[in-house]
Amino acid sequence: MLTYFKAFRRTLAVAAVALAAFSLQPGSAQAQDPTARPGPGVVGGTRAAQGEFPWMVRLSMGCGGALYTQQIVLTAAHCVDGSGPNTSITATAGVVDLQSSQAIKVKSTQVVQAPGYTGTGKDWALIKLAKPVNLPTLKIADNTAYNNGTFTVAGWGAATEGGSQQRYLLKANVPFVDDATCQKAYGGALTPGDEICAGYLEQGGVDTCQGDSGGPMFRKDDAGAWIQVGIVSWGEGCARPGYPGVYSEVSTFAANIRTAAASLGG
C-alpha cells in the first residue's frame, strides 16, 4: 500500500480542467523523498468566495497554511526542512485567486518545526513572516470537543489525484472518521494520539490532495466561529474509497504550538 504526505498531493479535487501548474519545490515531502507518504488536496470541492476564509495562506514550497497570528502561519512539519532562520518561503494571502493583483506576498524569516518530528505524527510547524498581514486569524482547538461532526477543508492543491495545482482556492466538507475505523484502513501507519481522520469512507470522492498539505481542517465552534481542528497531513491517494484523509490533530499540540509561537515573538 502506497501512502504519502500531501505536500504536493492534497488538493480539493473537482471535475474541473487543471488550472495553473506549479513545479515541485525543494522542501516539499516528495522533493525530499520520492517514496514518502502522499499529502492531501481538495477533491470534490467548489470554489471558495473571496474573503470566505481570509486566514488561508498559500506557501511557495507547494503547501497550504493558516494565519495563527497576523505574523505566524501554522502549517505541516513535512512542508519545511527543519527549524531556524529561513527567508526562502513566500506566503501568499488575502486572495482566492493566486494570480490576483491584490495578493499579499510576504517572505518568511524563521521556521519552527515540531520538536521531535521524524516523519510520523507531530506534523505541525510555524512560519514567522517578515511583517504582519492585516487579515483575520484562525483560532485553534485546545481540546477534543470539536473532533467530531463535519469539517471544512480548503486549498489550492490538485483537484484530481496526480493532477495540477489550482489557481483558485477550493473548499469541501468531509465527515469525521473515528480512530478505530481509520486504523482498519491504515493499520500501524496511523498515530491515533497525534492524528484525526475525515472523509467519505465508502464512496470516497471528496478529500484533500497534493498541494493541500499544511492547510487547515476546520469547523464552527459553539459560538459559530471557525476553529481549526486539523492540519492536512497524508493519505492513500486522493478521495479513494476506504481511505480517509489523515490530519494532524491540532488539540494534541495546542500547548506546544502556543509555546513555539511565543518563542517566535510574532
Tens digit of pLDDT for each residue in 215-252? 999 999 999 999 999 999 999 999 999 999 999 999 99
Based on the fold, state whether residues 154 and 100 are members of the same structural domain: no
Q: Which residues are catalytic?
A: 78, 123, 213
**What is the pLDDT, as a whole number, of residue 232?**
97
Torsions phi, psi of 76, nearest 5? -95, 145
Q: What's the maximum distance between 2 C-alpha atoms anywhere in the chain?
A: 46
Does the residue 28 lie in any domain? no
Does the residue 13 lie in any domain? no
Residue whose C-alpha is closest to residue 76's, from 205, 210, 244, 247: 247
Based on the fold, state whether residues 162 and 223 are members of the same structural domain: yes
Which string of b and e fits 47-65 if b means at least 16 CB within 10 Å? bbeeeebbbbbbbbbbbbb
Domain total of the chain = 2
Could you tell me what percentage of the chain is helix, strand and coil, using 3-state DSSP and rounding each to the nearest 5?
Answer: 15, 35, 55
Q: Tens-digit pLDDT profile for the chain (266 aa)? A: 334 466 543 334 332 222 222 222 333 333 333 333 433 348 888 999 999 999 999 999 999 999 999 999 999 999 999 999 999 999 999 999 999 999 999 999 999 999 999 998 999 999 999 999 999 999 999 999 999 999 999 999 998 888 889 999 999 999 999 999 999 999 999 999 999 999 999 899 999 998 999 999 999 999 999 999 999 999 999 999 999 999 999 999 999 999 999 999 86
> If you ran DSSP here, which 8-state letter would residue 190 be given?
-
Who contacts 233 (Cβ-Cβ below 8 Å, separation ≥6)? 5, 6, 39, 40, 76, 78, 123, 195, 213, 245, 246, 247, 248
Sort 143 into a burial class: Cβ within 10 Å, 0-12 / 13-18 / 19+: exposed
Per-residue pLDDT reduced to its tens digit, 175-217 = 999 999 999 999 999 999 999 999 999 899 999 998 999 999 9
Show the domain range for 76: 54-137+253-264
Based on the fold, state whether residues 147 and 237 are members of the same structural domain: yes
CB 189 within 8 A of CB 37: yes
Based on the fold, state whether residues 110 and 76 are members of the same structural domain: yes
Beta strand pairing call for 139-140 and 226-235: parallel
Based on the fold, state whether residues 73 and 170 are members of the same structural domain: no
Torsions phi, psi of 263, nearest 5? -70, -25
**What is the pLDDT, as a whole number, of residue 162?**
87
Based on the fold, state whether residues 112 and 151 are members of the same structural domain: no
Based on the fold, state whether residues 132 and 149 are members of the same structural domain: no
